[in-house]
Structure 1
Amino acid sequence: MARGAAFFDLDRTLLAGASGELFSEAIHRAGLSTGPLPGEKFLYGLFHRIGETLPAMAIARQGVTAAKGRSSAAVREAAETVVEQLVALVQPFARTAFTTHRDAGRPIVLATTTPYDLVKPLADALGFDDAVATRYAVDSEGNYDGTLDGPFVWSAGKLAAVTAWAEDHDVDLAESWAYSDSFYDTPMLDAVGHPVVVNPDPRMVLMAAARRWPTANLDVSPGVVKIPVVGLEVQDVARRLTHPAMYPYARFDIGAVDSIPDTGPCILVGNHRSYFDVVAMSLVIAKAGRSARFLGKKEVFDAPIVGQAAAAMGGIRVDRATGSNEPLRAAADALDGGEMVALMPQGTIPRGAAFFDPELRGRWGAARLAQMTGAPVIPVGLWGTERVWPRSKRVPNVFNLTDPPVVRVRVGQPVGLKGRSLAADTKRIMTAIAGELPPEARESHTPTRDELLATFPPGYSGDPEQEVARRPGED
């Protein structure tokens, strides 16, 4: 059976921006050039924002002439000095794509216009199997002679170079993947069986739509939708519109949001009292100025419109009936990429007497995620959401505008976990969440029949006083 490979473009695809400026600085520092070309910085800035342009590529074509007489070894040594900076620019979820292809037995190959001697140290550092790049011919002394050794690896030239590499390595392009942002890489994308458009430039947005090519963004979790060209997540836009004033039928008392780290992985965990909890958590996340990947029950993702929106914002679908570890793996990947994951360890809203129990019990998912990734767990205490939207109602009470109930939210410090026992760490997490609730939450309360009925779904016809069993608090 023929095997495929995975070809990755470099600038604005694999990297968050352009590599040219760093390579140029390295060449200047090494004394291999007289200094920046006129307008060089402007062109790099333009490339970073909108991608490849014909003027930039025209200048790049002249690079082989400008390099005449330089030592190829010295150029590679100069390139090695910026490898660490370039690795820092690699999109956080590129490594997930690398792993997927490696696990499938496909070689991963860097495919870029940038000269081979500049990109080879980076390709080696990232574990690429090879690099398809523009090669400058060298003379007997190892100096560039001012000519190309093969095609200028851009547009049709990149396709020619990739095709030649595939033939030399017994790779079938029909079984291969290619990733690029650039309209000018259309020939390469069109030649493979699995084209993937990444962070598309304006023209590639139209091309991808016309060819029905899938679009991915390696700076966010798989499946997250971003608005082309401007690069904003759907959740970014929603967060900018999320404000307590949107919910005049509730008042919000939100505190200690600065306990959420500004950057880096973290696991946000809250208790579950109402369908309105999601709104309260969203307001917390909006105040923190970050995006989050919510773990939610499959019913949410199966719902029309709401499900598509949840998926577009990077929600992670959980179907507990399957017993699959896939949702946890997806959440762990998001955390490994530096994102925030939000979940409610109780898994569902407690019913009946369990709703009023001051002791919170949770499932093991958050503790397992923390153990898998080392990400800090941040507790969030939610109180009063059930007064806005009790479980017994199909919709919130949006007409309570004169005396809306108060929703109290408190964010705590990271939970001290031991990492030895999932059960013990889960108990620590739930205790920390309970500690962020008001004093009355930790007092025993004998509910009335009406209070019990409010904890059951609409249409419930049983006897709530006979249903005293707690929802299971373990996996």
Structure 2
Amino acid sequence: MAEIVYPPVILAAKAMFRVLDNRLRVTGTEHIPRTGGAVIACNHVSYLDFIFCGLGAQPAKRLVRFMAKKEVFDNKVAGPLMRGMHHIPVDRAAGRESYDEAVRRLRAGEVVGVFPEATISRSFTVKPIKSGAVRMAAEAGVPVVPMSLWGTHRLWTKSRPRTLTKRHVPIHIHVGEPFWPTPQDDPDALTEDLRARMAKILDDLQADYPEKPETEDERWWLPAHLGGTAPTPEEAAELDARKDD
């Protein structure tokens, strides 16, 4: 398929990050397959994660087709861009259609990106995840590549004002080792394994992050178990049950 929109969007994003001097560090990129289909399963802490997850595949020269809720495609600004980059709309009322489209793309040798937590994690830990990533990989005969990122939430996340012009924010991305689900495997067990892999990567990124909150007000971007004021996973689940902003 023709790639008219995706390359300019990538160039624009990279230019913006250079202007803002976002200290982007991407590691583990050798785990992204250079050819053939693959599912990238990434944690979700920010509205900007699809941009940075996609950049994580750039060293392998792969374009990631993200599965995103249909409402994004309905937006007058974002919709044309999403369609132009050949991302996959997800209608929660008819999820099978988007699942089948993702499997078709994987079998055609494309990389499909998913956020298996489904929504942004308010606790900045890895929430319970859905099984779609491992099931579609098993059906298509491709690997799952776990990925986590950290720092993007400081720019734009749930229940916080956007700070898209904030400069010098470190953003770290790590790509984990791929694994190959098969139709014979237990999808629930594989899903828990994927969550554990994503959580381990995220823990390592948080431990190695070069900045700490400088004031009490800045502790919001650290998870509770690291001394921050972000909701605990239990508190975050209660907030998610009450509202979705």
The TM-score, its normalising length taken from structure 2, stands at 0.79
Residues 467/260 of structure 1: CA separation in 2 closer, same or farther (3 Å cut): closer
Q: 2:238 maps to which residue?
A: 469
From 336, 345, 366, give the equivalent of 2:133. Answer: 366
The answer to whether residue 60 in structure 2 is matched with residue 284 in structure 1 is no
Residues 466/345 of structure 1: CA separation in 2 closer, same or farther (3 Å cut): closer
Aligned residues: CA RMSD: 2.8
The 8 Å contact of residues 417 and 428 in structure 1, kept in 2 or not, is answered as no
Distance, in Å, in 1 between the alignment partners of 2:161 and 2:70 is 18
Distance, in Å, in 2 between the alignment partners of 1:326 and 1:374 is 19
Distance, in Å, in 2 between the alignment partners of 1:466 and 1:259 is 35
What residue ranges of structure 1 are gaps of 5+ in the alignment? Answer: 1-219, 221-225, 227-231, 456-464
The answer to whether residue 193 in structure 2 is matched with residue 428 in structure 1 is yes
Shift of 1:348: 0.6
Shift of 1:298: 1.6
Q: 1:390 maps to which residue?
A: 157
3-state SS in 1 of match to 2:172: strand
Q: 1:250 maps to which residue?
A: 22
Q: 1:444 maps to which residue?
A: 225
From 145, 158, 161, give the equivalent of 1:378. Answer: 145
Q: 1:332 maps to which residue?
A: 103
From 86, 91, 97, give the equivalent of 1:314. Answer: 86
3-state SS in 2 of match to 1:268: strand
Alignment of 1:150-189 (within 5 A): none
Amino acid at match of 1:300: V
Shift of 1:446: 5.7
Distance, in Å, in 1 between the alignment partners of 2:169 and 2:126 is 24
Amino acid at match of 1:252: L
From 162, 173, 176, give the equivalent of 1:412. Answer: 176
Shift of 1:294: 0.7
3-state SS in 2 of match to 1:382: strand
The 8 Å contact of residues 139 and 182 in structure 2, kept in 1 or not, is answered as no
Alignment of 1:60-99 (within 5 A): none
Residues 303/383 of structure 1: CA separation in 2 closer, same or farther (3 Å cut): same
Shift of 1:396: 3.1
Greater relative contact order structure (CA < 8 Å, 6+ sep): 2
The 8 Å contact of residues 350 and 471 in structure 1, kept in 2 or not, is answered as no
Distance, in Å, in 1 between the alignment partners of 2:75 and 2:155 is 22
Q: 1:302 maps to which residue?
A: 74
Distance, in Å, in 2 between the alignment partners of 1:259 and 1:285 is 9
Distance, in Å, in 2 between the alignment partners of 1:437 and 1:233 is 34
3-state SS in 2 of match to 1:301: helix
Q: 1:344 maps to which residue?
A: 115
The answer to whether residue 32 in structure 2 is matched with residue 260 in structure 1 is yes
Residues 247/283 of structure 1: CA separation in 2 closer, same or farther (3 Å cut): farther
The 8 Å contact of residues 267 and 340 in structure 1, kept in 2 or not, is answered as yes
Shift of 1:467: 6.0
Residue by residue, what CA displacement relative to the aligned partner does 1:268-291 show, whole Å, maximum 9, x if unpaired? 110000112122112213332121
Shift of 1:428: 1.3
Larger Rg: 1
The 8 Å contact of residues 143 and 179 in structure 2, kept in 1 or not, is answered as yes
Q: Comparing 233-242 with 277-286, which one deviates more in the overlay?
A: 233-242
Shift of 1:434: 1.6
Distance, in Å, in 2 between the alignment partners of 1:444 and 1:408 is 20
Residue by residue, what CA displacement relative to the aligned partner does 1:131-162 show, whole Å, maximum 9, x if unpaired? xxxxxxxxxxxxxxxxxxxxxxxxxxxxxxxx
The TM-score, its normalising length taken from structure 1, stands at 0.43
Amino acid at match of 1:285: A
The 8 Å contact of residues 415 and 429 in structure 1, kept in 2 or not, is answered as no
Q: 2:215 maps to which residue?
A: none
Amino acid at match of 1:310: M
